Amino acid sequence: MKFNQLFTTALAVSLLVSCGTDKKQKSEDTKTETKEISMTEKETPFEYVVEQFADIKVLRYKIPGFDQLTLKEKKLVYYLTQAGLSGRDILWDQNYRHNLEIRKALENVYNEFKGDKNSEDFKKFTTYLKRVWFSNGIHHHYSNDKIKPEFSKEFLANALKDTKTELSKEAFEVIFNNKDTKKVNKKASVDNVLVSAVNLYGSDITNKDVDNFYKNVKKDPKQPIEVGLNSKLVKENGKLVEKVWKSGGLYGQAIDKIIFWLEKAKSVAENEKQAEVLGLLIDYYKTGSLETWDKYSIAWAKSTDGNIDWINGFIEVYNDPKGYRGSYESIVQIKDFDMSKKMKVVSDNAQWFEDNSSIDDKHKKKNVVGVSYKTVNVAGEAGDASPSTPIGVNLPNSNWIRQHHGSKSVSLGNIIDSYNNASGTDRLKEFANDEEEIELEEKYGALADKLHTALHEVVGHASGKINEGVGMPKETLKNYASTMEEGRADLVGLYYLYNPKLQELGLTDDWKKTGKTAYDGYIRNGLMTQLVRINLGDDIEEDHMVNRQWVSAWVFEQGKNDNVIEKLTRDGKTYYNITDYEKLHQLFGKLLKEAQRIKSEGDYKSAKELVETYGVKVDQKLHKEVLDRNSKFKSAPYSGFVNPVLEPVTDKDGNITDVKVKQPKSFDEQMKFYSKNYNFLPTKN
C-alpha cells in the first residue's frame, strides 16, 4: 500500500500517512519555506525546484543523515540503489509493450537533432519526451491516458530520418493514433484486460481468460501466495501460461543485474538478519517462487534493527486491471536520525505527558506506552516509485502476513520536506498576520511541525483510557470516531507544544517561540488556509480537515470574551491574530479534557454536536476570500523527483573508500544517464 502526494503541510501529510489517507486532495495548502536549523550549511541555498513543464513540477531532495553513516552503511545504500535502478526498464516494458522502443527513438532524436532547437516543434517534442520520461512510458502516470504530442507527425518523421533513428511503423503510429489510449481501464462496461494498454497480459488475453486461469490455481486458503504477482499471462499454442519475471525468464537480463547488486549489498549487510533477508530476495529473483517471496516478506517485516532499509520487487498491483501483477519498484531508506531521536525522547517521557495532561485523572493511563512511529529519509528511488513518488508506504501487501507477522509503515520524511520547501513563502506572506508570525514560521516552523507530529503520534494516540463497559469509539462514536480521535491526538500535541518541558527535554532551544509558531500555524490553517483544498459551497468532509476546524473554531469562540484570538480585516482581507498564548494553551487543555471524556464515555451526542457545530460548515464569504487570495499561487498539479547521484570514491585497487552525494543538474541529464547506464533489456521482451 502506498500513500500518494498531498499538497498539505508537513504535519498534515505525516499525520495522514499514519492515520488514514485523503489521496484526492489536489490544491495547495499554505506552507512556508522552512530553513534548516543547522548552522553548518553555509553554501548557496538548496534549489528544491529543478524545472516545470506541462502539468509537472520536478523537485530535488536531500539525504539527511547520509554523512552520519559508516563506510559500510554507505556502501550498502549505494549497492541497494544500484539494484533498484537496474530494474528501471522492467517498469517501462510492464507499462506498455512499445515504451522501450519509443523511448530509445525519442532519446536518439533528442541527442542527435541538428535542426532548429528553438523551433516550436522541437520545443513541443522536448516537452513530450520529458512527460514520457516522467510517466515511465507514453501514458500519463496519474490519469493513465495516452499523452498527446503537440508536434506534428511530419516533424517526427523528418527528425527520425535526419537523425537516422529507427522506429517501427506500429510504434510510430501509436504515438499519434487512437489505439491503446488507456494504460489501465477499470470501467465496469468493458473487457478490462483486453482494452488496457498495460503489458501485463498478452494482447489477446481477455477478462474471462484471466478469471478461468486463476480459478484453477491451487493455494493454501490460510496462507495464500500472491498469485500472478511476478509474471505476464500469455497464450501459447492456445494454452494460457505465465511467463515468470526471474533470472533466466522474462526480464532475466535486468533481474540478473539486480541480483548482482543485491549480492554486493548482502556482503555489507548491517546484521545477520538483514543478510538473511537479502539472501531470500536473491533466491526469489533467481527462482521466481512466490513461496520464497512470502518467506522474504515475513523476514523483511521482522527485520527492523538496521539504519538502512529498502523496498525492492514487484509490489503494487494498481497497474493491473485485475489486480494480480506487481509493478517493479525500489525505495532505499535511511533512518531519520533526528526525528527518531525526538520520537524516542517523547516516548521515554510518555508517562510524564500522561500524568501532566489536562484530562480527568480517571481517564489517565497508569502505564502508558508510546506508540511507535517511523519516519525515514529516502536515499534513492526507482521503477514505479520514481520520478513520481509515494510519501508513505505500508508493506507487505499480503493480508495474512500483515496479520500474523506484522508490517512496516513509514513516512518518507525528506520527500515531504522537499514538497513543503518547494512551495516557497509567498502563501505564508499572504495569510500571516504580521512580520513576527512570518519570522517565527521561517525559523521554527519545521521544528514545530516535527514536534507536533511526534507528540500526536507517540503520546497523542496512546493517551487516555475508555471507561469500563464502554465500547470502542467506532461502535460508540460511529461516524465521528475518526475525526474525534485525530482531533484528540492533535490536542495532546497542542497542549504540550507550548510548554517549558519541551526545552527541558532538549527538544527545542526556545519553547515559547516553538509554541507560538505551532499555535499561529494551526489556527491560520484550521480557520483559513486549509479551505483552499475544497470547492466553494462544499462542506468539509475529510476527517483531518474537519478536526482541524472544530479544534480551531471551538477555541476561537471560547476565547472571544477575552479576545484570545482576534479576527482582523485589513484592505478587505481577513487575518487571525493570537493575543494571549497562555490562555489559548489553557483552552486547548480544556477541549482536550472534553474530547477525552467523549471518547472515554462513548458520548455520541456530544461528539456529534462538537463536530457538526464547529467542524463541517464553512463561512462562505471567508471561503471565497481565501480562494481569491490563493488563486495567484497556481502551480503544476503533479510533482516528482530527480534522485541524488551517489558516486563511489575508489582507491587504486578499486575498493570503495567513500560515497559522495551529488545533485543532478537537470531532469533530462538524469533521465539520459539512467537510459544509458541501466538499459539491460531489449526493446521487445
Please choose, out of 16-24, 201-209, 329-337, 361-369, the segment that lies near Zn ion by the rule CB under 5 A.
Answer: 16-24
Coil vs helix vs strand at 142: coil
- The least distance separating Zn ion from the CB of residue 552, rounded to whole angstroms, comes to 17
Name the residue nearer to Zn ion (CB basis): 482 or 600: 482
Angle at CA 622, nearest 5°, toward 616 and 626? 105
| Cβ pair 450, 415 in contact under 8 A | no
Contacts of 500 (CB under 8 A, 6+ apart): 511
Q: Is 59 a binder of Zn ion (CB under 5 A)?
A: no
Name the residue nearer to Zn ion (CB basis): 182 or 342: 342
Name the residue nearer to Zn ion (CB basis): 489 or 681: 489
Name the residue nearer to Zn ion (CB basis): 90 or 545: 545
Residue nearest to Zn ion according to CB distances in the complex:
19
| Cβ pair 305, 275 in contact under 8 A | no
- Dist CA 95 CA 135 (whole Å): 9
| Cβ pair 592, 491 in contact under 8 A | yes
- The least distance separating Zn ion from the CB of residue 322, rounded to whole angstroms, comes to 34
Coil vs helix vs strand at 2: strand
- The least distance separating Zn ion from the CB of residue 132, rounded to whole angstroms, comes to 38
- The least distance separating Zn ion from the CB of residue 486, rounded to whole angstroms, comes to 5
Beta bridge partners, 576, equal 567
- Dist CA 660 CA 647 (whole Å): 5
- The least distance separating Zn ion from the CB of residue 461, rounded to whole angstroms, comes to 6
Residues in region 143-172 near Zn ion by CB under 5 A: none
Please choose, out of 13-21, 281-289, 319-327, 421-429, the segment that lies near Zn ion by the rule CB under 5 A.
Answer: 13-21
**Start-to-end CA span in the chain (Å):** 28
Name the residue nearer to Zn ion (CB basis): 298 or 459: 459
Binding mask 475-514 for Zn ion (x = CB under 5 A): -----------x--x-------------------------
Q: In a 10 Å sphere around its CB, with 0-12 CB exposed, 13-18 middle and 19+ buried, how is residue 537 labelled?
A: exposed
- Dist CA 179 CA 192 (whole Å): 15
- DSSP label of 464: -
Name the residue nearer to Zn ion (CB basis): 122 or 550: 550
- Dist CA 322 CA 307 (whole Å): 36
Name the residue nearer to Zn ion (CB basis): 235 or 465: 465
Binding mask 397-416 for Zn ion (x = CB under 5 A): --------------------
Number of residues that bind Zn ion (CB under 5 A): 3
Sign of CA dihedral 387, 391, 392, 398: negative
Selected from 10, 19, 147, 551, the binder of Zn ion by CB under 5 A is: 19
Name the residue nearer to Zn ion (CB basis): 371 or 681: 371
Question: What would the grid cell of residue 587 be?
Answer: 483552552
- The least distance separating Zn ion from the CB of residue 544, rounded to whole angstroms, comes to 8
Q: Is 83 a binder of Zn ion (CB under 5 A)?
A: no
Name the residue nearer to Zn ion (CB basis): 383 or 460: 460
Q: Is 462 a binder of Zn ion (CB under 5 A)?
A: no
Coil vs helix vs strand at 138: coil
Residues of the shown chain interacting with Zn ion in the complex, contacts defined by CB under 5 A: 19, 486, 489
